[in-house]
Amino acid sequence: MTITKPSASDRPRLERIYNICFPGEEEYCRFFFDKVWKPENTLIAREEGVIAAMGHFLDVPMEFNGSRLEGSYLYAAATLPEYRGKGIMSRIIKEGNEEATAAGKDISLLITENDSLFDFYSRLSYKPVFGVSKVLCSPEPPFMMCRARMLLKSDITSLASVYEASAAGRLHDMRSQARWEGILEEYAGRAFGLEAPGGGLMAYCLMNEDCTYAQEVMGAGMGYLLYVCCMDEPKGFGFTLPEEGPSFKLIGCGLGLSANGVKALEGRNPLPYINILYN
């Protein structure tokens, strides 16, 4: 078994692994490999010429108390079923983190595919730190004459302002203009904002494909925005910044790769946040 970087010609094999391990995400798989994937950010395991597993280590800048931290986001860590149980993914992750540390990264972070994987990542020294809370639809508008509308590329500055104001003071992913452009492309036709009567974006939501819940919702009046946007209002909900309470759910892990990264993960009041990074 060898751990190496793939070549561009390996893409069909990696897409096959993705679709086997994450069934039902074929459309997003194409989006990821078209728009995000880079061979140099990927590690694969080969056994007798067969690609048995892969892990993608994406560059994700983080912010904590006004300081930038460099993050390595582990995405689509996947092993073909017939090669599981051999420690292959552990080797990929350890080597990926060694490369990230050498490159000056501060934090390795990930979102788990399911809760059973928290134990696996804990054996690699990860701690469950990232979470979300659930907010429900509310028919009551925060102000009279609020208007919900689809978001456009011209809204990115306002969109980023709502996000940064909401996430201020907690460890969270920094989103550049290019990142917001990618988000609006990914959520084309499913990104909505709530305008105040006098103008200005109050809240935004990024809906799932069926518009039954928001994969991310933030800002003042977000419950009302969900009520307007959800196709099934009585059951509609959205995921937002984590707060301690019954609606809180752990979704991901972090591992400090530098002294600053360790400190940021320990400073968990308020709770860290990362949500829609390719998950």
How far is Cα 129 from Cα 264, in angstroms, rounded to an integer? 11
pLDDT band, residue 175 (cuts 50/70/90): very high
Mean pLDDT, residues 38-42: 97
Provide the token pair at 50.
Answer: 């067969």
Tell me the pLDDT of the chain averaged across its residues: 94
Mean pLDDT, residues 161-182: 94
Full set of structural domains in the chain with CATH: 2-131+250-266 (3.40.630.30), 133-240 (3.40.630.30)
Q: Are 121 and 100 in contact (CB under 8 A)?
A: no
- The yes-or-no verdict on residue 268 having pLDDT over 80 is no
Contacts of 224 (CB under 8 A, 6+ apart): 138, 139, 140, 141, 142, 146, 194
How far is Cα 110 from Cα 275, in angstroms, rounded to an integer? 10
pLDDT of residue 158: 96
pLDDT of residue 215: 95
- The yes-or-no verdict on residue 1 having pLDDT over 70 is yes
- Per the listing, tokens 């995405």 go with 75
pLDDT band, residue 279 (cuts 50/70/90): low
- The yes-or-no verdict on residue 277 having pLDDT over 80 is no
pLDDT band, residue 145 (cuts 50/70/90): confident
The length of the chain is: 279
- The yes-or-no verdict on residue 91 having pLDDT over 80 is yes
Mean pLDDT, residues 252-268: 92
Residue closest to 128 by CA, chosen among 278, 238, 274, 276: 274
pLDDT of residue 222: 95
Residue closest to 77 by CA, chosen among 98, 97, 63, 105: 97
- The yes-or-no verdict on residue 278 having pLDDT over 70 is no
